[in-house]
Structure 1
Amino acid sequence: MAVVETEKREHVFIITLNRPEARNAINGDVAEGIEAAIDAFEADDDLWVGIIASSGKVFCAGADLKAISSGDAGRLSTKRGGFAGIVKRERTKPLIAAVNGAAVAGGCEIVLASDMVVAAEEAVFGVPEVKRSLVPAAGGLFRLPRAVGPAVGMELMLTGDPITAQRAHDLGLVNYVVAQADLMDKALELAGRITANAPLAVQRAMQITKRAMVDSDEELWKASTDAMRYLGGTEDFKEGPRAFIEKRAPVWKAK
């Protein structure tokens, strides 16, 4: 049984963590599996949006402590992706986290590395590392306060206490909170709303939006101009107005 499973649904690529017996904790095999899945996602021009999900009742409990105690800690990160093969990975395509249960420690950092979040009502989010004399060093220290604001980010960081899915939604970390049974349907619905749009435009918009909180306006103006210049040379740039004039749905080629 693969610890990371993948599935293609038209233009959507689903990555599923599949270690429910270990609360989907990250060991070397999972980290390598996630990295390989992202490699496949990025390499396939017909895949435009990804979803990362988990089997069982827990999204991800973070690092596998058994792997660490056995001396296998080095495999929990990959050269390209960092922890879990994802937190430092440069991606060009949007990734939705479908969070079915607890996303804590490194599991929360996987969520923070994603671009959008759909959460089940039972989901909780937290970075409890300080309770064990650690810090969330896989992106949580800076991504969490960016996502929920500096004051709440500081509280979550220093107390190590989790928050509910609804609280995470109210703070802006989560896009949608739904019943457990509706989780994947909602994630796929959100993915479908994105794949209805021109994929290259979506990718450029995502890349610049992710920089909005850290780059200067001058850098962002240049990036915006460069994005329009790039899109102006693509086939899809011509297809959009043509489809509007012909009163039909556009047929995107990602070219």
Structure 2
Amino acid sequence: MALSATKLLRSNLFSSAKLVGTLSLHSKYLNTGDSYNFIKVEKKGAKNNVALIYLNRPDALNALNDGIISDLTIALDDAQKDDDIGAIIITGSGRAFAAGADIKEMENKTFQECMKSGFLDHWNSVAKCTKPTIAAVNGFALGGGCELAMMCDIILASDKAKFGQPEIKLGTIPGAGGTQRLTRVVGKSLAMEMVLTGDHISANEALAAGLASKVYPADDLLNKAIKTAENIASKSKLIVAMAKDAVNTAYETTLAEGIKFEKKIFYATFATDDRKEGMTAFVNKREAEFKDQ
């Protein structure tokens, strides 16, 4: 059953308020050093306001194991606490974004272990991230890799990217949102075909289906992703968080309740200094200087 617009409003405004509170308490918090085992983190952009996270197991095609997910969760948390960071990019090292979950870690698990441990529950950190996330899919995004990309707010793909949910070939099904997010994005028929056959689709097929928003030549992908992230990061972080909540709510409720929720969020922007600054700057034909307030 869909959540009520009021309940969603309270929940999402709380998330936005929590984000703003966090932004005021932390500065330059993102760790770009060597403290990670399975990822690399850099600050990018002319203002160092973009967090670039590389999944970094190239010899294993960046297969997602517990270590890479743990590192990613920590890096995302750090990026959310860093008031310089306005957007986050996740990409892969080498020729893959992420070619699935690490099957060796899963091979001997039992039903009882999965149930007791809440297996894969902690994979949801990307979906829970309050700042905008961009998946720069540079190659294979299969199984858990496709699911990870779909947890991001925007998917940009290289012309060499391949998307797929091949779990059926292993005698299982997607377990990190693949059957749910894929169906919502590309529709039942294509999602069913991908899940039941395990076949891949190309970057251009993903673009046509609405899974990716842009496709770029492989050599241009990262620069284009950084420019997109910089564009987002130049806006008010407070208003961006509210806009992200409003778009995400479209997946969680009916159209009528979603419209009500959007209207309330729209009204709420009039309680911010940044809304006033944005409109005043427009009227006076100058660039807005947002303060995230």
Does the alignment reach a TM-score above 0.5?
A: yes
State how far apart, in whole Å, the 2-side matches of 1:238 and 1:217 are: 29
Match of 1:166 among 176, 181, 204: 204
Structure 1 stretches of at least 4 aligned residues deviating more than 4 Å after TM superposition:
none
Query: Does 1:94 pair with 2:129?
Result: no
- For the residue of structure 2 that corresponds to 1:46, the secondary structure is coil
Gaps of 5+ in 1: none
* CA-CA distance at 1:69 after TM superposition: 4.2
Structure 1 residues 70, 216: closer, same or farther in 2, change over 3 A? closer
Partner SS, residue 34 of structure 1: helix
Q: Answer whether contact 1:30 1:84 (CA < 8 A) is retained.
A: no
CA RMSD after TM alignment: 2.3
**Cα distance, 1:168 vs structure 2:** 0.4
Matched, 1:221 2:259: yes
Q: Contact conserved, 1:34 with 1:85, CA < 8 A, in 2?
A: no
The TM-score, its normalising length taken from structure 1, stands at: 0.90
Q: 1:25 deviation in Å?
A: 0.8
User: After superposition, where does 1:60-209 map in structure 2 within 5 Å?
Assistant: 60-69=98-107, 82-84=121-123, 86=125, 89-209=127-247
Percent sequence identity is 37
Residue in 2 that maps onto 1:35: 73
Paired letter, 2:84: D
In the comparison of the two structures, how many residue pairs are matched? Answer: 251
Which structure carries more helix by proportion?
2
1:136-159: per-residue Cα shift (whole Å, max 9, x none)? 010001100111111111111111
2:108 and 2:175 mapped to 1: Cα distance?
21
Q: Give the partner amino acid of 2:205.
A: R
Quick one: distance in 1 between partners of 2:144 and 2:128?
Answer: 18
Structure 1 contact 119–183 (Cα < 8 Å) conserved: yes
1:15-30 alignment to 2 at 5 Å? Answer: 15-30=53-68
Shift of residue 247 of structure 1?
2.0
State the alpha-carbon separation in 2 of the partners of residues 38 and 110 from structure 1. 13
The alpha-carbon deviation at position 85 of structure 1 amounts to 5.2
Segment drifting more, 27-36 vs 200-209: 200-209
Q: CA deviation at 1:38?
A: 1.1
Higher relative contact order (CA 8 A, sep 6+): 2
Q: Structure 1 residue 118: deviation in Å?
A: 1.0
Which stretches in structure 2 are left out of the alignment for 5+ residues? 1-33
